[in-house]
Amino acid sequence: MLPFSNRPLWLALLALAPASTLPAQAALTLSVDVAAPGKPISPDLFGIFFEDINYSADGGLYAELIQNRSFEYSPLARREWTNLTAWELTPRGGRGDLDVDGAFPLHANNPHYAVLSVRDTGEVALVNEGFDGVALRADEDYRLSFFARRLYAGGRWDGKKSASPLPLVARLETREGAVLAETSFVVTEDSWQTFSATLKSNATTPAARLVLIARERGGLALDEVSLFPAKTFRAHPNGLRADLAQTIADLRPRFIRFPGGCLVHGNGIPNFYRWKDTIGPVEQRRQQANLWGYHQTVGLGYFEYFQFCEDIGARALPVVPAGVSCQNSGHTGGTGQQCLPLAEMGAYIQDVLDLIEWANGPSTSTWGAKRAAAGHPAPFGLKYLGVGNEDHITPGFHERFELIQRAIQARHPEIVVIGTVGPAPDGEDFERGWRLADELRVPMVDEHYYKSPDWFWANLARYDAYDRSRAKVYVGEYAAHDDKRRSTLRAALAEAAHLTALERNGDVVTLASYAPLLAKRGRTQWTPDLIYFDNTNVYPTLSYEVQRLFGNNAVATVLPSTLRDAPTNLAFSTARDSAGDLVLKLVNGASTPRQLRIELVGFTRTSTPAELTVLAHPDANVANEDARPPAAATLSQTITVSPTFEHELPAHSLTIIRIPHAP
Ligand code: AHR
């Protein structure tokens, strides 16, 4: 946050302007009963939703720098892709070939590998471009690893005459060929061996390449070629990109929903996201196409998701398919829902129950032991489990969801199952989903809405009238979609207004998460997103700033308050946090400042310092631009408040007033 002394000129001038120069506004009175016990709300209200969309995982949060490391890319993901995409053979004085093979796979789940052969003595290089380049920093360490086996030494048809070792040099190079780091290996075995080394880059560059150079006549099989920065988030091996993970952690999310979204129920049954495929040694995980048009290595798998949750103090909220695929499967335009045959539902339900055991069971249990073997003997403490995502609520869905839900309830009543009510805040799937939730007594349902900023402002009372005896609500995906789907201040403030309404209704709305979270520049298929990034930078949006402010000013108890004649573009929540601080959140969606008289009824001190935080800009069209200072910066300052005080809300603003330990 910027101190007020660094505030932009427009805001400084605004503060200095005589009151008479401001557009006339009759003061409204916000009256807050600060002595009331208040209404306790969900301690988990604001979290995040991570989906591997827009290159969020591979090439994004997952810190792997090598693209197509396992030679498993396929045209199922993208028409032009092959097993050798992102790899290139370049002769460097020698003659050689690059092929793909599957006769001696490293693992059945990793069926393809590269064959690099040298026909004459002289160098040939196998080059990987990374994800739009390999970003390196000077003097930082990078951990290279790969599997290799010698297929033959000498000529290909020489049989086993020669047992000569095959040397392999690994380099990090700039695109122009300058060497940034180098190491060498010798492949001596005819069976798969692992190799690893740490490389220190001698320069910073956004777009280096990994180069593997063979020079002796012979043939080598190579697989799972991997390069990670040593500095991953919390230094975990197979870890996350530190800057991106920290940007997410700064939101202080109370939960993380993963791994999707549409990604979960997949493009047809074979493309379900199956959690068991994503644990264990990375070279043994079953990879697959991502329905967003690229590839999932699942190197960022269930263990890594749970570990990240634990690292940042968030609850894990995994979502499993409800036994049906995405209704848009197979280019069908909404009619492609496939239902798992009922004969397979028993095994499928067991997978779901195994997930709960993997997360929460003792390390002596079958699946708890696998978690322990991965390095986490203590249970993860899973509480929420999503079943289905935006599914078409058909009889086939109903039947399968019910089987899964009943099995979880019977075996694990401690788990809160979250059902799905379609992709929109109303309509057929919404109605049917809610009816199903009522019928099955589903504890919570997942509502989604991507709507205009005006819609958000017009629907602030949405949850005020929700029947508290029905299922609780998880607003699992929402975002205000402004003109051209830009991340404007207008959109961010509409979301802020929405969040105040969710806080006020935090007894029925238990969880909420903006969507989508991440998007890589140049690889984005869905806008707006909360955080943009490229290989070296992170670009948070103004919507991110709103989420950050709410996450860092989370409250525990909502206090009764009134604002007579409240205009429709003013939203507020009045609450206490778990430490007893009074936290007022006020959103002014108007293009003029708003005078407010704030009455703290029951406030016992005559005056006290309070912390004022403001995100504002006179132009609601502003949006953060990459590599520029924030279009609207958050400013903070200490003010003095008394039982009744006047306060002015700037045009287009979110204001947070925190009064320590009131009353
Ligand atoms: O958030 C992007 C997509 O929007 C999600 O995958 C899906 O659930 C929704 O339609």
Q: How far is the CA of 262 from the centre of ligand 1 (A)?
A: 6
**CA 517 to CA 312: how far, in whole Å?**
16
Choose the residue to mutate in 526, 531, 543 for probing ligand 1, maximizing ligand atoms within 8 Å of C-beta.
526
- Where do runs of H (alpha helix) occur along 262-330? 262-265, 302-311
Contact between 446 and 414 under an 8 Å Cβ cutoff? The reply is no
Work out whether strand 315-320 and strand 113-118 pair parallel, antiparallel, or are unpaired.
Answer: unpaired
**For 386-442, what is the HEC assignment?**
EECCCCCCCHHHHHHHHHHHHHHHHHCCCCEEEEECCCCCCCHHHHHHHHHHHHHCC
Q: What angle do CA 133, 134, 140 make, to 5 degrees?
A: 155
Q: How far is the CA of 557 from the centre of ligand 1 (A)?
A: 31
Q: Whose CA is nearest to atom 9 of ligand 1?
A: 261
Is the link from the previous residue into 663 a cis peptide, with omega within 30 of 0? Answer: yes
Q: Report the pLDDT averaged over residues 330-354.
A: 97
The tokens for 248 are 């997410």
Choose the residue to mutate in 54, 328, 389 for probing ligand 1, maximizing ligand atoms within 8 Å of C-beta.
389
The tokens for 89 are 């053979």
pTM over 0.85: yes
> Can you say whether residue 39 is alpha, beta or left, with left for phi > 0 and alpha for psi between -120 and 50 degrees?
beta
DSSP assignments along 585-631, one per residue: EEEE-SSS-EEEEEEEET---S-EEEEEEEEE-S-TT-B--TTS--S
Q: Whose CA is nearest to atom 2 of ligand 1?
A: 516
For 119-156, how does the pLDDT look when each residue is reduced to its tens digit (9 = 90+)?
987 999 999 999 999 999 999 999 999 999 999 999 99
The tokens for 110 are 């990793």
Sign of CA dihedral 36, 39, 40, 41: negative
Could you tell me which residue, 663 or 463, shows the higher pLDDT?
Answer: 463
Looking at the chain, how many residues does it have?
663
> Can you say whether residue 331 is alpha, beta or left, with left for phi > 0 and alpha for psi between -120 and 50 degrees?
left
Q: For residue 462, which amino acid is it?
A: R
Q: How far is the CA of 261 from the centre of ligand 1 (A)?
A: 5
Ligand 1 atom nearest the C-alpha of 476 is 8
For 389-420, how does the pLDDT look when each residue is reduced to its tens digit (9 = 90+)?
999 999 999 999 999 999 999 999 999 999 99
Ligand 1 atom nearest the C-alpha of 450 is 4
Model confidence at 26, pLDDT cuts 50, 70, 90, reads: low
Q: What angle do CA 254, 256, 259 make, to 5 degrees?
A: 175
| pLDDT given at position 407 | 98
Q: How far is the CA of 423 from the centre of ligand 1 (A)?
A: 8
Contact between 112 and 100 under an 8 Å Cβ cutoff? The reply is yes
- Where do runs of H (alpha helix) occur along 289-341? 302-311
For 441-490, how does the pLDDT look when each residue is reduced to its tens digit (9 = 90+)?
999 999 999 999 999 999 999 999 999 999 999 999 999 999 999 999 99
Ligand 1 atom nearest the C-alpha of 263 is 6
- Where do runs of H (alpha helix) occur along 526-612? 542-551
**CA 127 to CA 216: how far, in whole Å?**
17
Q: Whose CA is nearest to atom 4 of ligand 1?
A: 261
Complete domains list, the chain, with CATH: 2-41+557-659 (2.60.40.1180), 46-63+233-551 (3.20.20.80), 87-229 (2.60.120.260)
Q: Whose CA is nearest to atom 8 of ligand 1?
A: 261
Model confidence at 12, pLDDT cuts 50, 70, 90, reads: very low
Ligand 1 atom nearest the C-alpha of 515 is 1
Choose the residue to mutate in 48, 477, 525 for probing ligand 1, maximizing ligand atoms within 8 Å of C-beta.
477
Contact between 419 and 400 under an 8 Å Cβ cutoff? The reply is no
Model confidence at 159, pLDDT cuts 50, 70, 90, reads: confident
Model confidence at 539, pLDDT cuts 50, 70, 90, reads: very high
Inform me whether the pLDDT recorded for 165 exceeds 90.
yes
Q: How far is the CA of 474 from the centre of ligand 1 (A)?
A: 15
The owner of tokens 């992102």 is: 86
Is 390 a catalytic site residue?
Answer: yes
Q: How many CB atoms lie within 10 A of CB 363?
A: 15
Q: How many CB atoms lie within 10 A of CB 262?
A: 21
Q: How far is the CA of 388 from the centre of ligand 1 (A)?
A: 12
Closest by CA position to 113, among listed 75, 143, 151: 151
The fraction of the chain above a pLDDT of 70, given in percent, is 96
Identity of the highest mean pLDDT range in 4-8, 58-62, 327-331: 58-62
Residue 637's φ and ψ, nearest 5 degrees, are -160, 160
**CA 616 to CA 625: how far, in whole Å?**
16
Model confidence at 162, pLDDT cuts 50, 70, 90, reads: confident
Residue 591's φ and ψ, nearest 5 degrees, are -90, 5
Inform me whether the pLDDT recorded for 6 exceeds 80.
no
Q: Whose CA is nearest to atom 5 of ligand 1?
A: 261
The catalytic residue among 51, 129, 390, 495 is: 390
Q: How far is the CA of 353 from the centre of ligand 1 (A)?
A: 25
Sign of CA dihedral 476, 244, 44, 455: negative
The tokens for 350 are 């067991």
Pocket of ligand 1 (CB under 6 A): 51, 53, 260-262, 389-390, 423, 477, 515-516, 526
